[in-house]
Chains A and B, each alone.
Chain A
Amino acid sequence: MINLDDIKSFFIEIGELSYFTNRFFKEVFKRPFETKELLNQCYNIGNRSFLLVGITGFIIGLVITLQTRPTLQEFGAEAWMPSMVSISIIREIGPVIIALTVAGRIASGMGAELGSMRVTEQIDAMEVSGTNPFKYLVVTRIVAATLMIPILVIFGDAIALYGSYIIEFIKGDVSFQLYFNKVFKALEFGDIIPATVKTFFFGFAIGLVGCFKGYYCSNGTVGVGKAANSAVVLASMLLFILDFIAVFVTDIFFNI
């Protein structure tokens, strides 16, 4: 049975998230710009996720190629392999899986870090020392996530295609040049641009939700755990919703 309090708290959370988003857009263009902290966050989110994204991307490439090859072989269509794999990785699988992987690391990290800063009064300490904690902690993290996720996705996609090439090389003796010639021939403007643009929104959603859950954390250490956990769940759910919207909009404008 649906609990009335759950429905009420759901709408309260939507309202608070909207207020939080609105505050972000108000603060992001105001001085002072916390450039040093922004670069620090870009390093934390970007550089420290390269290995995770690289391994994930490589495995995606290997698995998709291994799984698809027998089916294409049945129809004698192995030559389509690079085009098929590249389109599916660039358009959909790469951005979504890599964003989900990074969301698990980034959103939970932000939720836990800001949550523990909240319950140990570090955010209050920052505020009473005359520093705007929203600008220093939240704005920098959201902007860094928005900028870094697209770079990570592009990197992950490239590694995934390389993984796919390795299987093609082993199973079909396809050369590097031939494989990537076919990849670039198959990819069009309508595949790359919308897929890249949506990753900015993915990054924004991951940063926003992670910071939102952490910034309003309460109830001590239990609250910190809940903040980290719910940040990942909500961020993952938002990624799928955003992906659906992106596919829908792309379909309208690029007719694919």
Chain B
Amino acid sequence: MMKQEWHIQDAKPAVEVKRPMIKIRNLKKAFGDNTVLNGFDLDLFEGENLVVMGKSGTGKSVMIKCLVGLIEPDSGSIEVMGKNIVKLNQVELDDLRTDIGFLFQGSALYDSMTVRENLEFPLRRHKKRYAENFDTTELVTKTLNSVGLAHTIDLMPSELSGGMKRRIALARTLILKPKIILYDEPTSGLDPITSKEIVELMRNVQREYKTSALIITHDVDCARVVSERMILLVDGVNYAEGTFAELSKSEDEKIRAFFK
């Protein structure tokens, strides 16, 4: 499908334009006869929150998984902080992944480990990101404090609510001090009040940790609050791009469908 007039070429992030953290060009991915991504483009700039909206099955999660090398794209280029991830070897990819935090839709906490062990797990493997004599417990507690859940440190994931799991999962990604955070449907399956808390937390994280964020969602309220720029994904391509205010005022039927 051709990119049509709603593609806003000169859209600028609300934050002052900085270097691109992620650059995707002409990304294509098909599973058998089912083409999921058909030439998708994206730029995520330093310090901005970019929301990608699309209906279920339009390839949002596939795109975000291509970004961290969980799925190999059929063609196209993906540059993360200047490195083309398709061409990286395993060691280089693992190294780059420590700069990317990934918040999974279902939280993906390791359910055989306590909250403390969940946070210590990535830390044990990437100690070099901190000074030599850092105190693990202090760091875990501090990170849990930043998501407001320090008291859960010795609980198992099965003892936590959905919203708490999402917060702990965010803490686990934050502990490695990532430069980019990828959110896969951060508010799905949560009640409106918890969703609001998660959205607020996402904004706090951006302020406190100075991260760039790519947020995959179909929650309009979430997109309105966190997005500085949005891309609407239809049939595997960018259908429209702009700020929430610009897109929500659009007369195009397909775009209006996103905001109903």
Contact = CB atoms under 8 A, between A and B. Distances in A.
B102 interface: yes
Interface string B168-189: 0100100010000000000000
Contacts of A130: 94-95, 97-98, 122, 125-126
Contact of B122 (A113, A116, A131): A131
Contacts of A129: 97-98, 121-122, 125, 172, 176
Interface string A121-142: 1101111111110000000000
A45 B100 CA distance: 35
A120 B105 CA distance: 9
Given A121-B108, A122-B108, A122-B109, A128 B121 contact: no
Given A129-B121, A130-B122, A131-B122, A121 B97 contact: no
Interface in B65-117: 65, 68, 70, 90, 94-95, 97-98, 100, 102, 104-106, 108-112
Nearest to B90: A132
Contacts of A131: 94, 121-122, 125
A122 B111 contact: yes
Interface in A130-157: 130-132
Interface centre among A121, A124, A127, A129 (most CB of B within 10 A): A129
A216 B68 CA distance: 19
B102 A125 contact: yes
A130 B175 CA distance: 13
Interface centre among A113, A120, A121, A130 (most CB of B within 10 A): A130
B179 to A, nearest CB: 14
A127 B125 CA distance: 12
Interface residues of A, number: 15
Interface string A86-126: 00000000000000000000000000010011001110111
B125 A120 contact: no
Contacts of B65: 124
A125 B176 CA distance: 14
A179 B105 CA distance: 63
Given A129-B98, A130-B126, A121 B121 contact: no
Contacts of B121: 126, 129, 131
A115 to B, nearest CB: 13
A128 B97 contact: yes
Nearest to B118: A125
Contacts of A121: 104-106, 108
A126 B98 CA distance: 11
Interface string A169-200: 00000000000000000000000000000000
B143 to A, nearest CB: 14
A220 B104 CA distance: 16
A116 B109 CA distance: 12
Contact of A125 (B95, B100, B108): B108
A137 to B, nearest CB: 10
A121 B185 CA distance: 14
B241 to A, nearest CB: 26
B71 to A, nearest CB: 10
A116 B102 CA distance: 19
Contacts of B104: 121, 124-125
Contact of B100 (A116, A120, A128): A128
Contacts of B68: 127-128
A118 to B, nearest CB: 11
A78 B160 CA distance: 63
Q: Across chains A and B, which 3 residue pairs bring their CB atoms closest together, nearest first?
A: A125-B108, A129-B122, A121-B108
21 contacts: A117-B110, A120-B106, A120-B108, A121-B108, A122-B109, A122-B110, A122-B111, A124-B65, A125-B102, A125-B169, A126-B110, A127-B70, A128-B68, A128-B70, A129-B172, A130-B94, A130-B98, A131-B94, A131-B121, A131-B122, A131-B125
